[in-house]
Chains A and B, each alone.
Chain A
Amino acid sequence: MPEQKVVETDYLLLEAPREKKFITGSQAMAEAVKRANADIAIAYPITPQSETMHLVGDLWAQGYLKDYYRAEEEYGAMSAIAGAVRGGARAFTATSGPGLLRGLEAIASWPGHRIPAVLGVLTRVVNAPLSIQPDNVEISYLLNCGMVVLHAENQQDVFDFTLASFAISEMVDVYLPIAVCTEGFFVTHAKGYVNMTPEDMKLPPRDPYKAPVPPTDCEIPPARIQRDAPVQKSNFMSYLIHQVWQQEVWSSNMRAMKYIYKYLNGPIEVINPDAEVFVAASGCAAAQAREAVRYAQMEGLNVGLLKIKSIVPFPSKEVRETLKNAKAIIVPEHNIVGWLAKEIKANIPNSDNVIGRPRVYGGMTLPVELIMDEIYAALGIKKDKTVLV
């Protein structure tokens, strides 16, 4: 392991020189953890797994982490992460599909407990039927628990989002967990070019005293709340404290947006802002959408891309502004429920213009041609159907 020097957060994330490597999404996530000055990683290798946590285990063996262990199962892993973070450590874990759902009760309690952990979500199918294939329906289960949810398009995003998340999550006015989601297999197992900060530089260590709640003291809420909760009493005061507590979680979530602007160049990316038809997508679907927009532009069609990086907090204002003149908004997704299409519909006035297609799931890939078909239909262009079987 090379000697790592601590550098300022802004320098590492915004100014440090970068070196290009050809690596998988799992490797990109581990490389970000390597530079994050993390103290501990805890995981359970549930099936389906990516190699992310195995690679993070290697980091421990190489001396980058102070501790690493395999928990008894996902609920145990996520609970232990909460304990480690409350004890003052900077912690990382990753999971996917059924593992995420198994740990979800503990994960959903992190925001209220003000746990600034970073969680990698390498999406897979949610059973049944049993499968290990990519499908991002599990992200929909994270949308309402109060944590910040970022969705990475490719290996570069995985690196950037993960490293920045360690900094954003510990900001005193945020202090929430952040999920960095990306598609299993399509991103985790595939290689792409990633511009990475130097291996011998790392973030400043966590300062657990720079926090909106006292660290380590298990006699006060939120720790004490477990056993002596004001919210367990049935009276107006108990309802009121829970109400403002929830408000504080969501206020903190909204405060994360300014750091998403600062460190991730904003919550959205737009290509061709004056487009007649937009393809709006997140994660791996954004890569396919990007390609469809390129095809469309080669054909002289006025089509634009809206890539959404931050799912929670959702960039309502930015999405509304981008889509205000769009005649049609095509939303390709890797899940059956269309959670992104629903979010977009809920945030724009002209929701009838949202076309919640194409959707693929259960491990199916998302061919660019499917998006092109929707673009042609939106523009009233008739094309002959080709049988692909």
Chain B
Amino acid sequence: MAKIITPGPSGYVPTPAVFEGVQITPPGKALLYGEWVDEETAMREAALAMLTRKNPTIFPGPLVLWGYNASAIEKAQAVLELAKEIPNCRIIPMPDYRPKYPKIDPEAEINPNHPNLTILHNKIEACIFVGVHCHYANLSLRMIRAGTNCFTIALCAEMGHEDAMVSIRDVHAEKILEFRDVVVKVREELGIKWEPKLPPENPSLPKEHFETLNIADYGDYAYLLHPRKGETVEETE
């Protein structure tokens, strides 16, 4: 099998996978190194990468992190179920797509404007993008391939991503749990002993005390809070 899209670093100016002739798959198929394969094959290769490469990490995006609707909440729970089964897996969120200055805290989050900073700082060699809007996922996947040796996996709710080493399309909670089952199977085949447990809490994020929480605690994210009924917002940006 020809491997068109492989872990980087691919260089200063990454050539987009589309320019190299890689095409998004039809429903039921997945992309593996830029080639069309069945989903089972792609999931096994993705599982292998997450189980054998250093510092496996899941990057959940806004479509998973923010509970927009029941399906997003269900999907977030499935992501946790998946994370539990990957030994020493971390979760680093991509909560939004705003550029952050002077720079992000790479242990706390990943940002599509410079995702390679988080990858390089944490020495991540395998990662999963899930719940990130396609445009921003594509920017991130290409930058990661340009400047790092990270193996990228895209679990996409839409049509998939050519620039990921593994891209699975139409992924919702049910398919994430299917992938979790593949991870468990491959882990057992590899003889890796692991008791399922949640990843450690993000060490860079301060503890939240919900009883005493006020708007100032949200810092940059305060604007995301909608005023309550009857509340008057006197100061705006």
A binds B: yes
CB closest chain-B residue, reference A217 = B96
The listed residue (A220, A244, A254) touching B98 by CB distance below 8 A is A220
Which residues of the partner chain A approach B136 to less than 8 Å between Cβ atoms?
Answer: 212-213
1/0 contact string of A102-135 vs chain B (CB within 8 Å)? 0000000000001000000000000000000000
* Residues of A close to B166: CB separation below 8 A: none
Instruction: Flag the segment in A223-231, A348-356, A381-389 that touches B.
Output: A223-231
Q: State which of A210, A219, A241, A258 has its C-beta within 8 Å of the C-beta of B139.
A: A241
How would residues 74 to 105 of chain B score, 1 for a CB under 8 Å from any chain A CB and 0 otherwise? 00000000000000000000001111000000
Q: Which residues of B contact A212 (CB under 8 A)?
A: 133-136, 138, 158
Q: Contact size class for B? A: 20 to 34
Q: Bound state CA distance, A219 and B223, in angstroms?
A: 9
Residues of B contacting A114 in the complex (Cβ-Cβ under 8 angstroms): 135
Expressed in whole angstroms, the Cα–Cα distance for A255 and B99 within the complex equals: 27
- Docked pose: A221 CA to B134 CA in angstroms: 13
Q: How far is the CB of A251 from chain B (nearest CB, A)?
A: 4
Q: Are A251 and B98 in contact (CB under 8 A)?
A: no
CB-contact partner of A248 in B24, B135, B158, B223, under 8 A: B135
Would you call B114 and A237 a contact (CB within 8 A)? yes
How many angstroms between the C-alpha atoms of A224 and B136 in the bound complex? Answer: 14
A205-243 residues at the B interface, CB under 8 angstroms: 210-214, 219-221, 224, 228-230, 237, 240-241, 243
Q: Report whether B135 and A240 are in contact in the complex, using a CB–CB cutoff of 8 Å.
A: no
Q: Does B159 contact A (CB under 8 A)?
A: yes
Interface centre among A224, A247, A250 (most CB of B within 10 A): A247
A214 touches which one: B113, B133, B139 (CB < 8 A)? B133
| Contact status A213-B16, CB under 8 Å | no
A173 CB-CB contact with B under 8 Å: yes
Q: What interface size band does chain A fall in? A: 20 to 34
* A and B contact pairs by CB, cutoff 8 A, 28 listed: A172-B134, A172-B159, A173-B134, A210-B158, A212-B135, A212-B158, A213-B133, A213-B136, A219-B223, A220-B98, A228-B99, A229-B99, A230-B99, A240-B114, A240-B146, A241-B112, A241-B114, A243-B13, A244-B139, A244-B146, A247-B16, A247-B19, A250-B18, A251-B16, A251-B17, A251-B19, A255-B18, A255-B24
Known: A241-B113, A247-B16. 4 other contacts (CB 8 A): A221-B97, A224-B98, A240-B146, A244-B138
Using a CB–CB cutoff of 8 Å, the interface residues on chain A facing chain B are 114, 172-173, 175, 210-214, 219-221, 224, 228-230, 237, 240-241, 243-245, 247-248, 250-251, 254-255, 258
